[in-house]
Structure 1
């Protein structure tokens, strides 16, 4: 894979269909808060992440609020995607949501039909199980390494490689 925005990324796949695949990069925070990006959004101390290079003018969010936030969709054990944005703002203003319960993303990662499968077949990606802690509790700068270490064996060795092995 030659796209540098995906180097050492941990991505959660949230939508997998014959028409394409959607996911979010979990470990690339940007130095902004959501109220810097969205007008009339309440002051809230939650990091915003680069979700991927597709539609970077859109905001998405993953959370563990479940039914507290209607219209959200369960995408992995303990992880929900989206929901009623106005309700979310109300819950935040009311102090019912903590910053460690939600992650915001600018843009998303997307694959056309068959593209992700081809990339997996060519060993561009390593498949891992999802742990809700990867989304909400793991420090983002260590997440890729943690996922690789959790996978064990050869992957833990790969996690120690520098970004460019030619400089080693």
Structure 2
């Protein structure tokens, strides 16, 4: 955990400048070509690697919506809550909760993230059948270049039977389970 926003910015900058060359080298040396990069907004250099390899790279939709809605400049007082637009569920946040977006040191980072996330193919770690509205909206945002891969917990061969049993409880039970799950613990069947 970083003690301050400034430290987080310094760490992110250092990570992106120092980790990109060895990461590119690693990808170049892989004997089996990767088919996707799962990353997040804190490692934007992964988008450049994904473009170079012509493979999809996953980024987050909510952050894109915050930027597209120009929330930081357009929303009222710090303490006033508002609904985040562009997602199927009602998500209420305050400007104070996203105040770090107003830090000028993050502007270049955020702008690069938004430009890159729009320009890349999207892989969503979700089932299209579980949350079709999110998949549909993400497809709109990425010009239909979206692949829903399902939660990675399903790819763990050691727990495939347990995971499939849990998911086979049905869409509503699975949604409820996902909302209430402590992601640090495995589902117990």
TM-score by length of 2: 0.26
Q: Which of the two has greater helix per residue?
A: 2
Q: Which of the two has greater strand per residue?
A: 1
> Which structure is larger by alpha-carbon Rg, 1 or 2?
2
TM-score by length of 1: 0.28
